[in-house]
Amino acid sequence: MILYGRDLSPFTRRVAIWCALQGRPVIRRPLMVSGEDFDALKRINPLGRVPILQLDDGATLIETFAIIDWLEDTAEPGARLLPETGLARRKAMQEIAYANSVAEKAVALVYEHNRRPEQYRWPEWCARLEGQIRGGLEAMEAHAPEEEGWLGGATPYGGDVAFVCAYDFIAATNPRLLEGPAYPRLAWLSERANRMPAFGDSRPEPA
């Protein structure tokens, strides 16, 4: 399988860690979503977005939730990172939903500063994004384990992967939002997760 996108993308990284925890070998193609890479990406995903997972049968999967759905659907029973059904699955999906929303807003905030020409910037919009990110991080902090352990129990599961990817993306791109540390449980969760190669090998450097 080939995974397109860089580790700085919290969505691409979620897929990369998911594959690593499931023991799936993946070839990485760390293309950016701008410049010449953007044209190359559009030849694979007409929207020019990442992540893209190209399967061994040639199929091309886009959108993180849909990619994860396939990874779960085709995993060996012992390798699944989500409960199959019931309240436990609902809980996991909501954890991922919070982390996913925070990641979306955090990516939008980066684009406001890196992509939008200065004269078109709208400070109130950036403040709104920051408020949404902080709100989401607070909700995640309330769900995170107080000390040891993982959201899913004894080993990291899908919720942990999504939490760590969202948190680490903000740490790399807008660390001032985490100062304090404002979210000590999330900071500790990230720290512990990144000691595992499945997480740590893709931890993004400060952008």
> For ligand GSH, which is the closer residue by CB, 51 or 158?
51
| Sheet bearing 27-29, strands edge to edge | 27-29, 2-4, 52-54, 60-62
Number of residues located near ligand GSH, criterion CB under 6 A: 10
Q: Would you mind telling me the total number of residues written for the chain in this entry?
A: 207
Report d(CA 27, CA 16) in Å as an integer. 10
> Helix, strand, coil proportions of the chain in percent (round to 5)?
60, 5, 35
Interface with ligand GSH (CB under 6 A), residue from 3, 50, 102, 144: 50
53 neighbors 3 (Cβ within 8 angstroms): yes
Residue given tokens 């886009």 in the structure block: 62
Interface with ligand GSH (CB under 6 A), residue from 19, 107, 162, 193: 107
With contacts defined by CB under 6 A, name the span among 43-51, 117-125, 151-159, 170-178 that binds ligand GSH. 43-51
Q: Is 9 in the site for ligand GSH (CB under 6 A)?
A: yes
Report d(CA 107, CA 153) in Å as an integer. 29
Q: Is 33 in the site for ligand GSH (CB under 6 A)?
A: yes
With contacts defined by CB under 6 A, name the span among 44-52, 113-121, 144-152, 177-185 that binds ligand GSH. 44-52
> For ligand GSH, which is the closer residue by CB, 33 or 192?
33
3-class SS at 61? strand
Q: Is 92 in the site for ligand GSH (CB under 6 A)?
A: no
> For ligand GSH, which is the closer residue by CB, 104 or 130?
104
Q: What is the CA 183 to chain-centroid distance, rounded?
A: 17
> For ligand GSH, which is the closer residue by CB, 11 or 183?
11
With contacts defined by CB under 6 A, name the span among 49-57, 134-142, 156-164, 196-204 that binds ligand GSH. 49-57
* Burial bucket for residue 7 (CB in 10 Å: 0-12, 13-18, 19+): buried
Q: Is 49 in the site for ligand GSH (CB under 6 A)?
A: yes
Q: What residues line the site for ligand GSH (CB under 6 A)?
A: 9, 11, 33, 48-51, 63-64, 107
